[in-house]
């Protein structure tokens, strides 16, 4: 068998829209309190896209930063992959809108995946496969979501959680340019929980009608308690798979980057895998839940703060609609 190619993250970037929505702003919109939101979720504020700013716009901003970080331009991109659950429209792919807005060459393949908050890790594995096979030299992988567009602003159980943002990676098999080496990924999905976190309206099962609009079917719905339980089970399981397959334990890992859905979930996962909170990256207080973008935003912010040093092992782990889960193992280069 041919030797496997090494896969590198060459550049990383993220983007949060300017507008900030605080807990006290939400107190004026629904029956909630700053105290409830902070105690139950750890969230203090979140960023919300401007009117007219759609998912592909957020994606393009993150992509520009990742390309600059990789010292590349749009002309160097061979394939665009986008992970999102709030596409600009049901079709065509949001990746095609990104291609158009970023000015990437017209023969560049573009595709989107909808795997909820696990988007960034799923994209790393898909990119690795394309690079391994030699289909392309550089993949622009973007996870972006404008959740505010599908948020029911009358539903206090979800609107206090959700936010907008984007993160992007440039992946390559060219060793000399790596920021981090991708050592392993673990992907999973459990469709038995598909209805626990979904947007029922707008697809073939429930097309848009006056009734579907009146019934508020075009907003994100979540069974929070069930999702909470499964998030703990599946994110813990994904990390354990990465540990087992690579013969490592929590003590070998420098940083964990969990999906930023709830500070209580983040702390419970750390406890389950026996890792102190100093090793866990958390940005949820200022970002809220940015869905597929959350891991990349947390990763990028830790990178800009200079927290990683050469040789550090980093484990991102996620959970989201599907219900999908995923984890990865990276070695920081610099």
Residues serving a catalytic function are 117, 259, 289
Size of the site for ligand UT7 (CB under 6 A): 21
Residue of 227, 281, 293, 326 that binds ligand UT7 (CB under 6 A): 227
Q: Which of residues 58-117 bind ligand UT7 (CB under 6 A)?
A: 117
Asked whether position 193 contacts ligand UT7 by CB under 6 A, the answer is: no
Q: What DSSP state is assigned to residue 280? A: B
Residue of 109, 200, 202, 224 that binds ligand UT7 (CB under 6 A): 224
Taking the mean position of all CA atoms in its chain, how far away is CA 251? 25
Q: How far is the CB of 96 from ligand UT7 (least distance, A)?
A: 26
Distance between CA 261 and CA 117 in Å, rounded? 9
Residue of 22, 157, 203, 216 that binds ligand UT7 (CB under 6 A): 157
Asked whether position 119 contacts ligand UT7 by CB under 6 A, the answer is: no
Asked whether position 262 contacts ligand UT7 by CB under 6 A, the answer is: yes
Question: Whose Cβ is closer to ligand UT7: residue 172's or residue 291's?
Answer: 291
Question: Whose Cβ is closer to ligand UT7: residue 143's or residue 170's?
Answer: 143
- Tell me whether the omega of the peptide bond preceding residue 90 falls within 30 degrees of 0, making it cis: no
Residue of 196, 219, 228, 243 that binds ligand UT7 (CB under 6 A): 228
CB neighbourhood size of 194 (10 A): 13
Asked whether position 160 contacts ligand UT7 by CB under 6 A, the answer is: yes
Residue of 231, 280, 303, 330 that binds ligand UT7 (CB under 6 A): 231
Asked whether position 36 contacts ligand UT7 by CB under 6 A, the answer is: yes
Q: Which residue is nearest to ligand UT7 (CB)?
A: 224
Asked whether position 237 contacts ligand UT7 by CB under 6 A, the answer is: no
Distance between CA 171 and CA 128 in Å, rounded? 8
**Contact (CB, 8 A) for 289 and 144:** no
Distances (CA, A) of 295 to 14, 62, 66, 163, 302: 10, 13, 14, 13, 11
Question: Whose Cβ is closer to ligand UT7: residue 36's or residue 248's?
Answer: 36
Asked whether position 225 contacts ligand UT7 by CB under 6 A, the answer is: yes
313-320 and 255-258 as β-strands: parallel, antiparallel, unpaired? parallel
Q: What are phi and psi of 42, to 5 degrees?
A: 85, 0
In terms of Cα–Cα distance, which of 112, 12, 118 is closest to 62?
A: 12
Question: Whose Cβ is closer to ligand UT7: residue 74's or residue 320's?
Answer: 320
Helix axes 294-304, 119-133, angle to 10 degrees: 80
Taking the mean position of all CA atoms in its chain, how far away is CA 12? 13
Check the CA dihedral 291-292-295-301 and report its sign.
Answer: negative
Asked whether position 265 contacts ligand UT7 by CB under 6 A, the answer is: yes
The DSSP result for 291-329, as a single string, is GGGHHHHHHHHHHHTT---TT-EEEEEEEETTTEEEEEE
Question: Whose Cβ is closer to ligand UT7: residue 37's or residue 136's?
Answer: 37
Residue of 5, 27, 32, 188 that binds ligand UT7 (CB under 6 A): 32
Q: How far is the CB of 118 from ligand UT7 (least distance, A)?
A: 9
Q: How far is the CB of 313 from ligand UT7 (least distance, A)?
A: 25
Question: Whose Cβ is closer to ligand UT7: residue 80's or residue 166's?
Answer: 166
């Amino acid at each position: 068998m041919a030797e496997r190619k090494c896969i590198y993250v060459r550049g990383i970037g993220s983007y949060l829209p300017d507008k900030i929505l605080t807990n006290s702003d939400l107190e004026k919109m629904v029956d909630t309190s700053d105290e409830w939101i902070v105690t139950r979720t750890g969230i203090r504020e979140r960023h919300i896209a401007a009117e007219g700013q759609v998912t592909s716009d957020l994606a393009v901003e993150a992509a520009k930063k990742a390309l600059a970080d990789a010292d590349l331009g749009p002309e160097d991109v061979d394939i665009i992959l986008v992970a999102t659950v709030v596409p600009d429209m049901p079709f065509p792919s949001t990746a095609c809108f990104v291609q158009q807005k970023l000015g990437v060459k017209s023969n560049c393949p573009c595709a989107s995946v909808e795997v909820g908050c696990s988007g960034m890790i799923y994209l790393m594995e898909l990119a690795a496969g394309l690079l391994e096979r030699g289909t392309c030299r550089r993949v622009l992988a973007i996870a972006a979501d404008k959740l505010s567009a599908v948020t029911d602003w009358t539903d206090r159980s979800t609107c206090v959680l959700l936010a907008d943002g984007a993160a992007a990676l440039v992946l390559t098999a060219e060793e000399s340019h790596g920021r981090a080496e991708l050592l392993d990924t673990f992907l999973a999905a459990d469709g038995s929980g598909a209805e626990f976190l979904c947007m029922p309206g707008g697809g073939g099962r429930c097309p848009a009608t006056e009734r579907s609009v009146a019934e508020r079917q075009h907003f994100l719905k979540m069974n929070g308690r069930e999702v909470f339980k499964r998030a703990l089970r599946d994110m813990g399981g994904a990390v354990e798979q990465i540990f087992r397959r690579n013969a490592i334990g929590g003590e070998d890992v420098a940083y964990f980057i969990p999906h930023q859905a709830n500070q209580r979930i983040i702390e419970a996962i750390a406890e389950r895998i026996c890792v102190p909170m100093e090793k866990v990256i958390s940005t949820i207080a200022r970002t809220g839940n940015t869905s597929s973008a959350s891991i990349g935003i947390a990763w990028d912010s830790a990178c800009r703060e200079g927290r990683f040093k050469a040789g550090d092992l980093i484990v991102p782990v996620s959970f989201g609609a599907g219900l999908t889960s995923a984890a990865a193992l990276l070695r920081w280069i610099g």
